[in-house]
Structure 1
């Protein structure tokens, strides 16, 4: 075990190179933590060179820097990154303890500073439940409970899974939570500073809860403020007026869509009259939206005495509708299916479909089927 990991506030150390391999260095000691156990990797410098990668090989951590190293080695971990990574790990221990006492568990978590979340294995978590969870964690922060670490032989630990380990590191936060863990943790809960639940959603396994702790909250606040400011500027209103403006724009957009739909309907009606004037049984439909084929066919349905097919070419596919005053639409569709891969269907008077075929082949086949 690396005892440097027992006090997350220690962010510097002096050591020596133990091994160099493929541009990665292992050292006699390290203050750095590489991503593992659900905790993100540290950032920082070694001999003032930025650390660009950390990787584990068993229990050995290898470090890669933007340059070449030689003894003596001076390590310095970025304190803010270390604190953000550590606080989220620590609050997840507290949440483990909180939900365990309710007979629940947390099967998965997210620890990125801009996306901190946990999933609890219950779909019945309510807004009130989350308010109580938030209040509990913030009360634990106020109480400033000490974190303690003990080392023992794994065979002395009650959980059979851990009894295979020769040395086991056990992390405790008072009587709230005790569990084996190799990551870093705050020394006392007051160092978490704050905890807030932002949102939640139901999942296949339970409830996913989005939260923020420590200075990750500051980063979120800055980002949200920036987004609100930009949105208000784009909307031409003050930030305080943004919600009202969005509601106003939403209503306006709905009205515009309604008006556009009506105009489109009228345009299609005009096109339908033009189509009805044409004697040909197979007619190209001039448009960009394949859905217009269905609308046009419905408008033609009671005005066609014989059989008409309107179509629109789109890449290697043909969107088409068959309108039949003779109740032969489905019969014609089955004949087309005998020649091409076709999806779609409808009634004896009207069908709409899509054929995976080029325009020329489609028209050649239709000339033999439709009259």
Structure 2
């Protein structure tokens, strides 16, 4: 019995350091919400024409992190974008033509105070995030920014010197597919080719049998393989902020009988016009309907006076029920679409309406919008 007690004590003491040696790694990925090309942001040189795609952030429980790598089965070596480039001048001015140029994926990171970058694709589906550094990264958190880097010099893309009023030019993806990825880390300093494990990204579920997570993380915001046309903005004359102009159209009075029960009647239309919006991009706002007291329900009042007889009603916006002072999403807005939604009244209790004294019944509603990208 005495030996058994000693053996149990020794096993317990040995287990603690084994647990401490295990490093748990968590990863978050945040795609860039507004993609745009740039010339030479640090640590790239002025000759580089680049596009940031997203940012990966690694945290480790014991600062151990070896060879973090993306496994992206459907991501190619090259991505092609078609837009204006110049190869020669005429009368001292660049001559631009629409042509596809190729880009490669790259990673920028800071390790122990040093900033470096490397192309990520090694000829298969594996993309090293810190190939420029050897050993334990030992940086917590470790941040890697994902870029596309043109294989052509930045000088072939617009410099806007000959057209300073131009806000920017757009480039359309014509080759390649972004798809999604999983993340692995190496078991030790020998690199992931000699043993790796999958780590969760944005709360992914990682199978215990060592197989990849079933749901890959998309490179692009909202998923998809191809982004809308991407701007190279004139740094000295960027696009103005997007403006949202709300108009109420065809506002009219209505006969209350047309809104009894489930019957509904249109009282107006809301139109949202976008100003300075990017072509091919969609936008969203939150729409809030509120009355003078900020209640969540709506009522018509005799002569518009809240102290007089009230007839409750329901408000619909684009067919969706409205709760007073609670925002509704209005998304997929664009500069080319009319962006119109109907405003309707329904849900009036006929018995209540029959009790109402004769007269004009009114309610005043304030409609406010908040762009979703400012929340």
Structure-1-length-normalised TM-score:
0.22
Greater helix share, structure number: 1
Structure-2-length-normalised TM-score:
0.21
Greater strand share, structure number: 2
Greater relative contact order (CA < 8 Å, ≥ 6 in sequence): 2
Which structure's CA Rg is the greater one? Answer: 1
